Structure 1
Amino acid sequence: MRTLLKRWFIDSMSFMALGLFSSLLIGLIIKTIGTYVPMLSELIPVGELAMSLTGAAIGASIAYGLKAHPLVIFSAVTVGYSAYEFGGVAGSFIAVLVATELSRLYAGRTKLDILISPILTIIIGFLVGKFVGPYIAKLMTSLGSFVNFAVEQNPFIMGMLVALVFGITLTAPISSAALAVIIDIDGLAAAAAVIGCCCHMVGLALMSYKDNGSSGVLSIGLGTSMLQVANIIKNPWIILPPSIASIIVAPIMTVFFPMLNNSAGAGMGTSGLVGQIMAIETMGPNMTTYILITVFHLILPGVVTYAFYKVLFNARLIKPGDQVLNLGNE
C-alpha cells in the first residue's frame, strides 16, 4: 500500500508538475513576455499553443514517470488531452493515472500489443476522463474555492496556514505546483502560497551558502528547495527557519499589503521566477508590484529565515556541513 501511495501521490504528481511546467507554466511565461514586450508580441500565440497542450503534456509526463510501456506513454498523450477538456488538470491527472495503472495488466503481454495497448489505454482513459474527471475536478476546485474564501475572511490565520502548507509541500517530495493548479487557488490565497514557497527557496538557499557556495544558492533559489530533502531527513531542524518565516511573512502581506497571484504561480515560489512573473501577470507591471515582489518574495523571506537559522546554528542544532548538496559534481 505504501508503494502504491508513493506512485499515486508522489511520483505521479511530481512528474505531472514537469508536464505542467513544460506546457501551462512555460506557455504563460511566453505569453506574458509577448504581452508586455511589444516587439515580441508574436510570442503570444506561441504561449497560447503551449497552454492548449497542457493535458497532453500531463498525460505524457505521468505515464513516463510511472515507467509505463512506450505505447502507453504515447497513448497517454491522447488520454491527457481529451480528459483535460472534460475536467481540466484534475481530470487529466485521474484519467491518465487510472489508464496507466490498468495498462500494467495488458501492455506488452500479447503479440498484438501494438494494437491492444493504445486501444485499451485510450478507451479506458477517455471513459474515466469523461465520466469521473468532471466530478474530481469539481471536488478539487471546491476545495480551492474554500481556501480562497477562508483566506479572504481571515487573512491573518489562513494566510499563515496556506503559506506554511505550501512551503513545506514545495520542499517535500510532493509537488506544490501540481497541488496549486489542481485545486485552482488564486488571488490572496495564491499570493500567500507563493510567499511560503519563497521562504523555503530563498531561505534555504541563503542558509546553505557556506556549505554549497553560489552554485548551491542558485540551484535551490531558482531551482527547487526539494534538493535539501535528504539533509532535512538527517537533521529536521533545517526546515524550521523557513517554516517560521512562512508564518511570519505571509500574514504581514495578507493583512497589510495584499498581493494577488494565480494557480500557476502559487506553488512555484522563485523556481524559474514563475511566482514573480505570475504576480506581474496578475497585478500588472507597475512600481508597486515590483516593490511588493522584492520585499515579500525576496528580502523578507531571506532575512527572516536567515535570522532564525543563526539562532539554531548558534545553538548547534544546525552544524557546518549539515546542508551540503550532492549536485553530481563529485
Structure 2
Amino acid sequence: MKDFLRRKEVKPSLHLYFIEAMGKMTFGLFATLIIGLMIRTFGEQSGFDVLIEIGQFSMDLYGAAIGAAVALALRAPTFVLLSAIVCGAAGAMYGGPAGSLFAAIAGVEVGKLVSGETKLDILVTPIVTIFSGFLVAATVGRLVSYMMTSLGTAIMWAAEQQPLFMSIIVAALMGLALTAPISSAAIALMLDLEGSVAAAAAIGCAGQMIGFAIASFRDNRWSGLVSLGLGTSMLQMPNIIRNPRILIAPVVAGMISAPIGTLGFGLVNNAAGAGMGTSGFVGPLMTFAEMGFSWATFMPVMLCYVLIPAVVSGLTTMWLKHRGHVQLGDMKISV
C-alpha cells in the first residue's frame, strides 16, 4: 500500500493540506472572489453596470477556482485537475470557502488513486473525482462551514463585548497568520469576518507588511519596501526563524493601529479584505468598498493602514537595535 500511495503521489499530511493547499487556495480566491469584488465595487461607484456584472460573475466562480488551485498544489493529473473544478464548486455551494477546500482535497486525492489505472481512464477518473468531492462537500463541507462561521460569529460577539481587547488580539493573531506560511486570507473568508473585526484583522496584517517594510528598509531598500509593503511579509520567515525578535515591531504596530482604526475612526472591512493587509492594497480598498470613497474615509485609512504602522514599527525597531536585540542584516531578504 505504501508503494502504491508513493507511486500515485498521495502523501497525506497537515503541511500539505493546510499550508500548501490552503496557500494555493488563496490564489484561487484572489483571482475570482477578491478581484471580482474590486471590479464590482468600482462598477457600483462609477455607475458602469457591465463592471458590476463582470465582478459578480467572477465572484460566483470562486469555488471552481479553489478546486483548480488545490489540484495544482496536490500535483493532480490532468483529468483529476479538471474534475476538481466541479469539486470546488460543489464545496462552495454546500459549505462556502471551507467546503471548497475540503471537497477539492478529497476529490483530488481519491481521483489520483484511480487515475491511469484502467483503460477507461477518461470516464473513470472524472466520475470518481467528482463523486468523491461532491460527497465530502455535502457532508463534511457543511459541518466545517458551520463550525468556521460559528467561530467567526463568536469572535465578532466577543468584539462587541470587549472591543479594545479583541481588536488588539485579532490584529496580532491575523498579522502573525499573514506572515506565517498559512493563508490569512483563507482564514478570514472561512470565518466570514466583517465589520470592525475584519478591519482590525486587515490593519493587523497591514502592520506586519508595512512594519517589516519600514523596519528592514536599511537592509532591503526600495525593492524590499515594495516587496514587503505591497507583496507579502512572508518573505521574512527565514529571518524570523533565525531571530524571532524581528517580529516584535510589526506585531506592536498592528496592535496599536487596530484599536485606533476601529474605535477611534470606526473603520470597517469585509471577509475579502480582512486577511490581505496592504497586499495589492486590497485591505484598504475593501474598507473603501464598505464605507464609500471620500476624503473623510481616505485619511483614516492611510493613517491606520500605513502611517501609524510605519512610525510605530520604525521607532520600535530603533529601540530593539539600540538594545542589541536586532542587528543590521537580520531582515535582509532575497527579491
TM above 0.5, one fold?
yes
Offset of residue 285 of structure 1: 1.4
Aligned to 1:129: 137
Q: Is the 8 A contact 1:173 1:226 kept in 2?
A: yes
Aligned to 2:119: 111
Unaligned runs of 5+ residues in structure 1 are none
Q: How does 1:180-329 map to 2 (within 5 A)?
A: 180-327=188-335
Aligned residue among 11, 14, 22 for 1:13: 22
Aligned to 2:5: none
Aligned to 2:156: 148
Aligned to 2:86: 78
Q: Which runs of 4+ in 1 moved over 6 A?
A: none
Q: CA offsets per residue over residues 65-85 of structure 1, 9 Å max, x none? A: 111222111111111112211
Offset of residue 25 of structure 1: 0.3
Query: Partners in 1 of 2:12 and 2:312 — Cα distance?
Result: 37
Query: Partners in 2 of 1:295 and 1:90 — Cα distance?
Result: 33
Offset of residue 196 of structure 1: 0.4
| Secondary structure, counterpart of 1:316 in structure 2 | coil
Q: Is the 8 A contact 2:215 2:249 kept in 1?
A: no
Aligned residue among 162, 177, 180 for 1:172: 180
Letter in 2 for 1:197: C
Offset of residue 41 of structure 1: 4.2
Q: Is the 8 A contact 1:79 1:126 kept in 2?
A: yes
Question: Which deviates more from structure 2 when the two are superposed, residues 46-55 or residues 255-264?
Answer: 255-264
Query: Partners in 2 of 1:246 and 1:125 — Cα distance?
Result: 39
Q: CA offsets per residue over residues 189-213 of structure 1, 9 Å max, x none? A: 0010011001000110111211112
Offset of residue 113 of structure 1: 2.2
RMSD: 1.5
Query: Partners in 2 of 1:97 and 1:81 — Cα distance?
Result: 13
Offset of residue 289 of structure 1: 1.3
Aligned to 1:33: 42
Question: Which deviates more from structure 2 when the two are superposed, residues 107-116 or residues 228-237?
Answer: 107-116
Q: CA offsets per residue over residues 264-319 of structure 1, 9 Å max, x none? A: 00000000111011000111112221111011101111111111111112223221
Question: Which deviates more from structure 2 when the two are superposed, residues 283-292 or residues 73-82?
Answer: 283-292
Letter in 1 for 2:21: S
Letter in 2 for 1:37: S
Offset of residue 90 of structure 1: 1.3
Unaligned runs of 5+ residues in structure 2 are 1-10
**TM-score normalized by structure 2?**
0.93
| Secondary structure, counterpart of 1:132 in structure 2 | helix
Letter in 2 for 1:91: G
Q: How does 1:92-103 map to 2 (within 5 A)?
A: 92-103=100-111
Query: Partners in 1 of 2:291 and 2:324 — Cα distance?
Result: 42
Matched-pair identity in %: 44
| Secondary structure, counterpart of 2:13 in structure 1 | helix
Question: Which deviates more from structure 2 when the two are superposed, residues 21-30 or residues 88-97?
Answer: 88-97
Size of the aligned set, in residue pairs, is 325
Offset of residue 146 of structure 1: 0.7
Q: CA offsets per residue over residues 220-244 of structure 1, 9 Å max, x none? A: 1111111111111111111111112
**TM-score normalized by structure 1?**
0.95
Query: Partners in 2 of 1:3 and 1:156 — Cα distance?
Result: 40
| Secondary structure, counterpart of 1:42 in structure 2 | helix
Aligned to 2:167: 159
Q: CA offsets per residue over residues 102-139 of structure 1, 9 Å max, x none? A: 23322233333222211100011111112222221111
Q: Is the 8 A contact 2:170 2:197 kept in 1?
A: yes
| Secondary structure, counterpart of 2:331 in structure 1 | coil
Aligned to 1:24: 33
Letter in 2 for 1:31: R
